[in-house]
Amino acid sequence: MNKLILDVDTGVDDAQAIMMALASPTVEILGITCCNGNTKLDNACKNTLRVLQKCNRLDIPVFRGCVQPLLAEPLHAGDYHGKDGLGDVPDPNAPGMDMLQDTHATQAMVNIVNDNPGEVSLVATSALTNLAVAVQLDPSFPEKLKALYIMGGNIESRGNTTVCGEFNFVVDPEAAYIVLNRYTCPTYIASWEFSCRNSVPWSFCDTWLAQDTEKARFMENISRHTRKVAQSEDNEKEETKRVGFNSCDAYALVAAIDNSVVTESEEVAVSVELAGNNTRGMMVLDYMGLLKKKHKATIMKKVNLDLFKKMMIDSVK
């Protein structure tokens, strides 16, 4: 079994990733930790519980994490995911916040990994604030992880939030810097450009969401706003044309489930730029070896799209 901790800021793509993990027979989710990011922390917690309720898995513990970045001003993605993070389609029967665990998310991460040293992979699809605090609580935390999978950063300085910055890293650049420089476990990164190049066709989305199941109807409902925005961007911005739906967070998740899904990658030392009017939050790839870092991250380049799409289909069956 793949023992996972999911660190999320549950918007639409986090919801997709969570559902893909829940659908996998080889995954055991030991806990889900929530962070400020796509939406405010309380929304992220509520949204996570909604997804688990829809999948009949409210037995999985959910933990409330960091409410704001380490130093940066809070930033959210309400224009893309909806103000509440799940398309602004509230559910009056959604679970309440009383379903959350009492332990803070960062301490929960440390506890879970200490109980399962070398066995747990951490999948981070949010700003990396919780992870940065966790390594402060326990400096040995990263070396006890089996692996770390990150959705975030960019490899060609193409931003989606600032000129050169990807959202998750821009939300908390200091946290991203800490994680990329202090986590020395095997590290796999699904960057923004990588996810764009491996988008699924809109025609597939129609088939995927047309399945006659409660989960498919849930996903169709919460993703309607996001798909409308993304399709509009496809039509208007030829230079960043994706020609399909980019389920950003799901790419990091599927790699954690089955590394063979990633068919092309490269290893390189990475860091994060913390200064610069246009480059703060940009991921730095050190091809020249000037940073003198021994630890290298695996940068994903291509996925087996057929297998990825099958996992998407299975997630809403």
Tens digits of residue pLDDT in 164-217: 999 999 999 999 999 999 999 999 999 999 999 999 999 999 999 999 999 999
CA distances (Å), 76 to each of 67, 92, 133, 305, in order?
A: 12, 24, 20, 29
Is residue 303 within a helix (H) or strand (E), and if so which, with residue range?
strand 297-303
DSSP 96: P
pLDDT range class, residue 236, cuts 50, 70, 90: low
The pLDDT of residue 197 = 94
Q: Which two tokens stand for residue 240?
A: 């960043």
Q: Is the pLDDT of residue 250 over 70?
A: yes
* CA distances from residue 39 to 67, 83, 302 in whole angstroms, order as listed: 10, 7, 29
C-alpha distances out from residue 182 to 82, 108, 119, 187, 243, Å: 33, 19, 19, 11, 37
* pLDDT number for residue 235: 63
List the beta bridge partners of residue 122: 5, 148
Query: What is the structure's pLDDT at 99?
Result: 98
Task: Round to whole Å and give the CA distance between 291 and 293.
Answer: 5
Q: Decide which of 233 and 258 is more confident.
A: 258
Residue whose C-alpha is closest to residue 38's, from 73, 63, 74: 74
| Burial of residue 284 (number of CB atoms within 10 Å: 0-12, 13-18, 19+) | middle
Indicate whether 240 pLDDT > 60.
Answer: no
Q: Retrieve residue 127's tokens.
A: 């700003």
Domain residues for the domain of 23 are: 2-315
Q: Is pLDDT at 231 greater than 80 in this prediction?
A: yes
Among 7, 9, 172, 234, the one annotated catalytic: 9
DSSP states along 16-37 = HHHHHHHH-TTEEEEEEEE-SS
Q: Is residue 81 a contact partner of residue 87, using CB atoms and an 8 Å limit?
A: yes
pLDDT, one tens digit per residue, over 282-291 is: 999 999 999 9
> What distance in Å separates the CA atoms of residue 258 and residue 300, rounded to the nearest whole number?
13
pLDDT digits (tens, 9 = 90+) for 265-288: 999 999 999 999 999 999 999 999
Query: How far apart are alpha carbons 254 and 312 in whole angstroms?
Result: 10
pLDDT of residue 36: 97
258 is an active site residue = no
For residues 232-250, average pLDDT: 72
Residues 18-55 pLDDT 10s? 999 999 999 999 999 999 999 999 999 999 999 999 99
Backbone angles phi, psi at 59, to 5 degrees: -75, -20
Q: Are 149 and 125 in contact (CB under 8 A)?
A: no
What pLDDT was estimated at residue 259?
92
User: 3-class DSSP state for residue 9?
Assistant: coil
Looking at residue 244, its pLDDT comes to 87
Residue 237: pLDDT over 80? no
Please, what's the b/e burial string for 232-257 (b: 16 or more CB within 10 A of its CB; e: otherwise)?
eebeeeeeeebebbbbbbbbbbbbbb
Name the average pLDDT for the chain. Answer: 95
Instruction: Return the CATH number at 168.
Output: 3.90.245.10
Q: Are 98 and 156 in contact (CB under 8 A)?
A: no
Encoding tokens for residue 212? 């006659």
Q: How many domains are there within the chain?
A: 1
pLDDT digits (tens, 9 = 90+) for 101-148: 999 999 999 999 999 999 999 999 999 999 999 999 999 999 999 999
Mean pLDDT of 85-111: 97
Nearest CA to 247 out of 216, 226, 221 is that of: 226
